[in-house]
Each structure stands twice: as C-alpha cells, then as structure tokens.
Amino acid sequence: MVKVLGIIAEYNPFHNGHMYHLKSSLELIDPDYTMVAMSGHFTQRGEAAIIDKWERTEMALRNGIDIVVELPAAYSSQTAELFAYGGVQLLNHTGVVTHISFGSEIGQIQPLAEIARILADEPPPFKALLKQYLDQGLSFPQARHRAIKEHAKRSGLGFSESQWEKIINSSNSILAIEYLKALYRTNSSIIPVTIQRIGAPYNAQEMSGEVSSATAIRNELLRQKCWDSISRAIPQASFEILKRAVESGKGPVTNNSLEQLLLGKIRSMCLEDIKNLMDVDEGLENRIKECALKASTLDEFIALAKTKRYVYTRLQRILIHALLGITRERVERFRRVGGPQYLRILGFSKRAIPLLKQLKQNAKVPIITKTAHYDRILENPIAREMFDIDILATDLYSLGIPDPRYRRGNRDFTEKIRIV
C-alpha cells in the first residue's frame, strides 16, 4: 500500500521549523509521497499572506513536498475548529492520504486525543461548564480552555500542570486537538501523528536564531529587511524565493496593504450585513461599524474594537469575512455538503506524477488543474460558489501587492501551475 503523508499548513513563509517538522515526519512515517493542504492568500489569524500562494507553493515543492493543494478561502481564515475541519476534509477527499502529521508543544498524541474526544462528544457536564464560563464574560477560547481543564480534572484524566500548559495555552497543541477532533467527527481513516515543536513559540514576535517563528520572520522583513537574519531562519530555497518576490515588488503584503479596502468595506456595509458575517454575534456589528467610522487606520480600528471577549485575531478574521462575503449562512451551507468541494492543485513535483494518477482515480471531489475549466468541472453550484470566493480572494489580495504590475485581476486564470 502506498503511504501518503498529509500536512495542513500556511508556509507563510516556509521556515526551518517547518523543515524540522517535515523531516521528522518523514523519519517517523516513511511515506512514499507528501501532500500539503495550504492556505491561499489569507491565513487562519485573519491576515494577508506575506507573498502569494504560487510563490509559497514553490517554496513547499523545493523543500520536499510532492503536491500542494489549496485550502479554500472559505476555510483558511476561520477559527481553529473550522480551519482544521476544512483541512482534514480536504485530505479525506483525496482518497489517497494515509497519515497526517502536525506540530504540538507537548509532542504526544494521547493527551491531545483525550481532549479532542471530549470536544467531539461534548458530554453534558462539559457543556454546562462551558456555559458557566461564557456567562462570566470570557471569550469563547478562554471559556473552553477552562471548561476542558475542569472537566478533565473531574473525569480523572490526571494531566500534570506542565502538560496542561503545553496543551491549553499553546497554539500548535490547540490546533492539533482540532485536527484530531475533525478526524473523529468525519470518521476518517487517516492515521495521526504529532511532532514536538522546537525553537521559538508560535506567536513569538522577535527573531531567535535558526528556529524563529513565522511571525518573527515576517516582522523582521517588514521592519528592516535584514536579509542576513532572515536567511539563517529559513531554508536556502525559501530564502531565494522570498528575496526574489520582495525585490521584484510582489511582496511583502499585509492587512495594512489593504487598509483602505478593508475599512471601506465595513463603512459601506449596513448593520444587518455585518451582523450576518461569520464570527459576528451579540450585537458586535454595532461596535464594528462605529469603530470603522471613527478609525483612520486599520491599527486604530483594531485598538478601538478589541475587548477581552472580542480579541485581535477574531476582529481580523471578521474583516476578511467582510472582504470576501463569508457569512454564517454560507459557512453552514458549505458544512452541509461536507466541506471543501474540490481539490485545486497549485503545484507538484515531477516525482509525484504516479500519485497524481492515483489521485484522479480515488478523489471523492473534482480535481482542478486548469482554472479556466472550473465552471464545467464543478457541476455542483455550491462548489462553484466556494471556488468563486477563492477567485475573489486572489483578485482583492492582488490590490495589496507593492508593484502595480501585479495588481491585475484574474490571476487565478493566468498563473501557471508550479512544477518542480
């Protein structure tokens, strides 16, 4: 049986920590091929990717990935739960992925799996605790963390305090739990493994040598473009692609590059339309509208709008939902049909041609290699609606590219699939 390793990633950019995860996964699983479900132009934290999805696809391929498929934009800028669900379903739909590997601060599957089972089953005592903490005014992630910890303690799972710190307060472990939960809820046959994260924490803002966070690398690029420092933190292939993209004017792109577009979108929307966006509830639409009218910059808008309950990343995601028209109703409609409805291949290595043939035989959803044909490939109108969001995401993201030559629309129809 052919073993295929699946990874869900953003590679924003592909750095030494990603390389460590990939090499460790290859040693542990010994797969025949690797496939990545990668975010396109907007990421899970509600941010524009630093360079476009084709450059990042090339990074992945040149660093050892065999096939890159795009995680639809409807899932790429969502909560950890929906992001993980979209990625896992995309790998499920391939019909060829046998294993999934993800990073975690704890580096052990069992404790993550036990917590994932609680979240997947939602036993009544857990739900009661969750409601209790939400009623105290905590944000949903904070309330859920406390509810999990208390329920696990009462259930006698017996985690040590150091284990809890590595699970509940660690970004990669939180996402790992969501991957496991999605595997359970979709009755997936994919086998999960986890690799312990090394080096800087996920959200570290400053460079810390050879294993720095993607956030720190992006900050370094935006603040001073110290290429020597960046070159030590990312593989040579990634460095060449990143430097080439920046020097040619294709990057860097940030939410601030789209500042007027984002603020203008919120200002132009009526309260009812804002209310219908994904992640907007409890009258938050009023605060968002008011702050968008008061703020003259994106940073000012976030500073005015954020509270203990409405955190920075949630507000950023809402801005992206507004930009792309991602409403609760749309997300629910996509959920009812089983999540991602196509496999959009962004690039592949020549050695993966046999896997591509197997993919065409086994895939449970249509495969898109030529975007010009998507209308006839995607017979389901919901699939076409989902893909239209991807096209819109590219068209609007492109307006933030520094060099005006790359801001033209319809790049999804003109950029070539990457082959390495």
Q: What is the pLDDT of residues 47-100, one digit of tens each?
A: 999 999 999 999 999 999 999 999 999 999 999 999 999 999 999 999 999 999
Cα separation, 407 vs 220, in Å, equals 25
Residue 170: how many other CB atoms lie within 10 Å: 20
Element (H, E) at 8: strand 4-9
What is the structure's pLDDT at 165? Answer: 67
Tell me which residue of 233, 199, 190, 210 sits closest to 94, measured CA to CA: 190
- Average pLDDT of the segment spanning 260-284: 97
User: Are 242 and 51 spatial neighbours (Cβ–Cβ below 8 Å)?
Assistant: yes
Q: What is the pLDDT confidence band of residue 103, given thresholds at 50, 70 and 90?
A: very high
DSSP 8-state class, residue 278 = T
What is the structure's pLDDT at 200? Answer: 61
Q: What is the pLDDT confidence band of residue 379, given thresholds at 50, 70 and 90?
A: very high
Burial of 194 (0-12, 13-18, 19+ CB in 10 A): buried
Query: Helices (H), strands (E): how many in the chain?
Result: 22, 8
Cα separation, 172 vs 197, in Å, equals 8
Q: What is the pLDDT confidence band of residue 207, given thresholds at 50, 70 and 90?
A: confident
Cα separation, 296 vs 310, in Å, equals 20
Q: What is the pLDDT confidence band of residue 140, given thresholds at 50, 70 and 90?
A: confident
Query: What share of the chain in percent tops pLDDT 90?
Result: 81
Backbone φ and ψ of 277, nearest 5°:
-70, 150
Kindly provide the residue ranges of all beta strands, DSSP E only, lying in 52-140, ordered along the sequence.
Answer: 67-71, 99-104
Q: Cis peptide before 125, with omega less than 30 degrees from 0?
A: no
Q: CA 157, 158, 164, 167 torsion: positive or negative?
A: negative
Cα separation, 93 vs 143, in Å, equals 33
Tell me which residue of 90, 83, 145, 78 sits closest to 118, measured CA to CA: 145
Cα separation, 8 vs 25, in Å, equals 13
Three-state SS at 104 = strand
DSSP string, 202-263: TT--S--TTS--HHHHHHHHHHT--HHHHHHHS-HHHHHHHHHHHHTT-----GGGGHHHHH
What is the structure's pLDDT at 340? Answer: 98
Question: Six-digit token pair at 241?
Answer: 């692609």
Three-state SS at 49 = coil
**Radius of gyration in angstroms for the set of CA atoms belonging to the chain, rounded to a whole number:** 21
What is the structure's pLDDT at 408? Answer: 97
Kindly provide the residue ranges of all beta strands, DSSP E only, lying in 252-354, ordered along the sequence.
Answer: 343-348
Tell me which residue of 182, 218, 2 sits closest to 87, measured CA to CA: 182
Contacts of 238 (CB under 8 A, 6+ apart): 13, 14, 15, 59, 62, 63
Backbone φ and ψ of 73, nearest 5°:
-60, -25
* Ramachandran quadrant class, 209 (left: phi over 0; alpha: psi -120 to 50; beta: rest): left
pLDDT digits (tens, 9 = 90+) for 222-257: 987 789 999 999 999 999 999 999 999 999 999 999
